[in-house]
Structures are given as C-alpha cells and as structure tokens.
C-alpha cells in the first residue's frame, strides 16, 4: 500500500520489533543502497560513451555464389510420353548421365527409321545435283562446238561471197570486152557494106560481116546474163551469211536456254538437298533429345512428374537437380532507406538458422555464433518484397562457414557501419533517425585517386 495517509503507522506500532523492520529501517542498509545507486549511475554514464557500431539488419537465405551452381529443374526439350526412368530421388548423377527416356507423340516423327530414310533422300537428291551438273557441262561443250562451227561456216560463206564478187568483177570485164568486140564488128560491117556498094567487096563478104556482128551481139547478151548471175551469186552469198548467223544463233540460244534450265534445276535440287540436310540434322538432334540427360554433376532432388506413360509438354519441368559442387553465399534483403549505406566489399556478420548465437549487433567482436561475409553484389532494382537484394560471399579472413549448411536455409545478416557512442545510438533510435551516411574506405580512396 502507498503511504498517503496523514496518520503515521510508525508512531502507533514499533517497526523495530519485527525482523523485517530491523533489516529495512537500519541506517547501514541505506548507505549500501545509496552507494550501489551512485556506482550504477556512474557505470551507466561511462557506458554511454563506449563505442557502438551502427548496423543494418536483414533477413535472407543461403544460396550459391554463381547462377549455374544453384538448384535447377530439368525441362522436357520435346513433347512426348515418359517411357523409362533411369534414376531415383537422391541419386548422384554425372554430367551427361541419362535420367529418363521420352517417346514421340507427334505423327511426324513416328517412323523409327526417319533419320536413315532422310539420309537416303539426301543421297538421291545429291545424285540429281551431280546429273544436272554433268548436263550443264555437256551443254557448255555443245555451245562451244556450235560457236566453233558457226565461225567456220561464216568463214566459208564469206569466202563464197568474195568469190562471187570476184566473178562479178571478171564478168563485168568480159562484158566490156564484148561491148568492144560489138563496136568493132559494127564498124567492120559498115565498112564492108560501103565497099560492097562501091564494088570493091563481094556480097559474100558483107554477109560474113553481118553474121559476125550478130554473133558478137549474142555474146554481149550472154555476157550481160553472166554478169547478172554473178551479182545474184553475191546476193545469195550475203543471204547465206545471214542465214548461217541466224541458224547458229538460234542453236546457241537454245543450247544456252537448256543450260540455264539445267542450272536452275541444279540449284533447285541443291536447295532441296540443303533443306533435307537441315531436316536430317533436326531429326538426328531430336532423336537424341528423347533421352533427358543431366546438365552437370549433382543430386536428384525430386521427380516433379512421376510414373510411366504420362505425356509431357515441351518445356514442362520433369525433375529437380542440385549441383554437387557449389560455393555458398547468402542473399539478404535490406530496406530502400539503407541502400546508400552499403558498398561492394564491406563486412557483414551472418547468423544461420540452426546455429545458436549470442549476438551483440553493436559489438561484433564479442558476438558468438556469427560468421563473417563480404558484399559482392547489390541489386539495382527493387525486388517484389519491396526491398533490395544483396549477395554476400564468405569472408576468407574470418572463420570458415559451417560445412553442414544447405542451400535454402534461413540467415540473419548484420551489416557493420560507422562506430558511434552508445548515447548517440540511443538518441538516434528514440528519434527514429537512419544510421549515419558514410562511405567505405575503399570507395573514398578511389575517389581521392
């Protein structure tokens, strides 16, 4: 009860008669208690000036340092039906070991000899390509022969044209000679006829000269015909040259057309061969994908799809695997307000689930059961939980992390910041202020350089 009455109990009752009264009301007891209060106050006052390390705490879990070392699932590369399992949960597998076999469920790949038959088609089409190539070579030889023959034929026709022109020239000379003979025969006939009128020549001589004149006229007409025939031969020779050129141009054009057709067929067949080779490679690779193999050494965690005869889709998860070799790390999450306080390479204390610890966040040197770590990566984009992800690696200069730790277990992290007095930290906590902003020594030294 509180002594709020004006009536003093000690005036009515003698408290010293009681054992408890003797112990409490004695002067010696007050002296010791006052000394204790004074000493405790001095100790608390001195304690306020002791150094305290500011920290940033976070919760996370154990993971691996590199992405390829983390637990993963193996997906089905093709749609199919599970035919056979070669492992069971908990088995250790090496890279390339077969985990299960999948059979085809698409009608396009039912044929068990699909790869070999596609190879036969490739061989047949390749033979067609060779045949078209030989046909192209034969047509090229034919074109060469036609060009050579055309040259000879043109030379022959040109020679005939030259001969015709020379014959025209010869016949024109003969025509001029015939005209000269005709003029001579006419003059001789006129003189003979005049002499016969004068009585100096006989009628017989006149008749002979008339006959010779007529023969000369006949030879002139015949020579004119020969000249016209020679000119016709020149025209015929020119026509023949044009005919030879046209004929061989048509033959060469037809042979070239056949060659281009053969080349087109050859290229088309080569495209078909390339397409078949692509299909052959796809079929061959797809046939290998029927056997799902381990991507790396590790342990089979859990079969996500069990049984025999179940159908799976492409990309569907089949089994989980944990790599056997990995480097442990811790991923922790911090508040956005604390993000500017963390830098790469800073020290962090980690407490793992299942390892009892006595933690003094402000005095990391006297903490027990925590392990050293360093910041190796800080995420630049906020996570789904509204915090930033920080990746921690073991500190090689500190105690080695427990070997029994498994990936996925929980962890509690304490990032060490600036050293301040205890009274300042209490004042900061009471007012709800964030830790002091500071830069790590490595970063500040880099800035000075």
CA distance 264 to 258: 10
Clarify whether residues 314 and 250 are in a common domain. no
Tens digit of each residue's pLDDT (9 = 90 or more) over 288-301: 889 999 999 999 98
d(CA 41, CA 45): 6
Q: Are residues 75 and 61 in the same domain?
A: no
Domain of 280? 114-289
Residue numbers of the chain with a pLDDT score lower than 70:
1-30, 356-369, 418, 432-449
Query: Considering the domain boundaries, does residue 102 fall inside one?
Result: no
Q: Do 139 and 40 belong together in one domain? A: no
Its pTM stands at 0.58
Same-domain pairing of 344 and 267: no
Task: Report the CATH number at residue 342.
Answer: 2.40.30.170
Residue 35 belongs to a domain: yes
CATH number of the domain that 86 lies in?
2.40.50.100
* Residue 103 domain-assigned (yes or no): no
Q: Do 422 and 345 fall into the same domain?
A: yes
**141 and 254, same structural domain?**
yes
Q: What is the pLDDT of residue 95?
A: 92
pLDDT at 358: 57
- Whether residue 82 sits in one domain with residue 62: no
Judgement on whether residues 279 and 220 belong to the same structural domain of the protein: yes
The CA-to-CA distance between both ends of the chain, in Å, stands at 72
- Verify that 198 and 265 share a domain, yes or no: yes
Q: For the chain, how many structural domains are there in total?
A: 4
Tokens of 54: 């500011």
* Boundary of a domain, candidates 323, 344, 373: 323
Rounded to 5 degrees, what angle do the CA atoms 148, 150, 151 make? Answer: 65
The answer to whether residue 88 is domain-embedded is: yes
The pLDDT, as a whole number, for residue 449 is: 40
Over the Cα atoms of the chain, what is R_g? 60
Show contacts of 156-163: CB within 8 Å, 24+ apart.
157/237, 157/240, 157/241, 157/244, 158/237, 158/241, 160/237, 160/240, 161/234, 161/237, 161/238, 161/240, 161/241, 163/237
Same-domain check for residues 410 and 338: yes
- In this structure, the answer to whether residues 129 and 264 fall within a common structural domain is yes
* Within a domain: 106: no
Specify if 249 maps to a domain.
yes
Q: Are residues 205 and 258 in the same domain?
A: yes
């Amino acid at each position: 009860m509180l002594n709020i009455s004006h009536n003093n109990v000690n005036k009515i009752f003698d408290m010293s008669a009681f054992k408890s009264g003797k112990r409490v009301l004695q002067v010696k007891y007050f002296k010791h208690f006052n000394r204790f209060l004074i000493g405790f106050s001095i100790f608390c006052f001195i304690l306020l000036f002791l150094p305290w390390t500011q920290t940033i705490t976070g919760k996370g879990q154990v993971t691996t340092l590199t992405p390829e070392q983390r637990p993963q699932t193996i997906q089905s590369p093709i749609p199919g039906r599970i035919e056979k399992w070669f492992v069971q949960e908990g088995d250790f597998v090496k890279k390339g070991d077969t985990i299960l076999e999948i059979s085809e469920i698409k009608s396009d790949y039912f044929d068990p000899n699909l790869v070999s038959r596609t190879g036969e088609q490739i061989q047949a089409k390749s033979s067609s390509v060779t045949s078209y190539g030989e046909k192209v070579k034969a047509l090229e030889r034919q074109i060469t022969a036609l060009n050579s023959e055309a040259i000879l034929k043109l030379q022959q026709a040109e020679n005939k044209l030259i001969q015709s022109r020379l014959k025209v020239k010869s016949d024109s000379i003969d025509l001029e000679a015939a005209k000269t003979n005709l003029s001579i025969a006419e003059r001789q006939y006129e003189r003979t006829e005049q002499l016969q009128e004068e009585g100096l020549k006989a009628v017989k001589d006149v008749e002979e000269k008339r006959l010779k004149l007529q023969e000369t006229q006949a030879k002139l007409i015949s020579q004119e015909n020969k000249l016209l025939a020679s000119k016709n031969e020149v025209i015929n020779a020119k026509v023949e040259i044009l005919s030879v050129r046209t004929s061989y141009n048509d033959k060469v054009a037809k042979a070239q057309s056949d060659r281009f057709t053969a080349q087109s067929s050859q290229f088309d067949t080569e495209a078909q061969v390339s397409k078949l080779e692509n299909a052959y490679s796809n079929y061959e690779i797809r046939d290998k994908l029927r056997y799902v193999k381990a991507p790396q050494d590790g342990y089979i965690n859990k079969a996500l799809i069990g049984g025999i005869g179940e159908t799976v889709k492409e990309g569907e998860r089949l089994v989980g695997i944990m790599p056997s070799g990995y480097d442990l790390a811790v991923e922790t999450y911090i508040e956005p307000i604390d993000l500017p306080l963390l830098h790469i390479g800073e020290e962090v204390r980690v407490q793992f689930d299942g390892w009892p610890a006595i933690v003094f966040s402000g005095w990391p040197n006297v903490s027990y059961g925590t392990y050293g770590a360093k910041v190796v990566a800080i995420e630049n984009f906020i996570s789904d939980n509204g915090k930033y992800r920080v990746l921690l690696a073991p500190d090689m200069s500190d105690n080695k992390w427990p070997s029994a730790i498994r990936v996925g277990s929980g962890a509690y992290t304490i990032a060490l910041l600036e050293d301040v007095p205890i009274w300042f930290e209490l004042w900061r906590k009471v007012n709800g202020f964030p830790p002091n902003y500071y830069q790590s020594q490595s970063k500040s030294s880099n800035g000075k350089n």
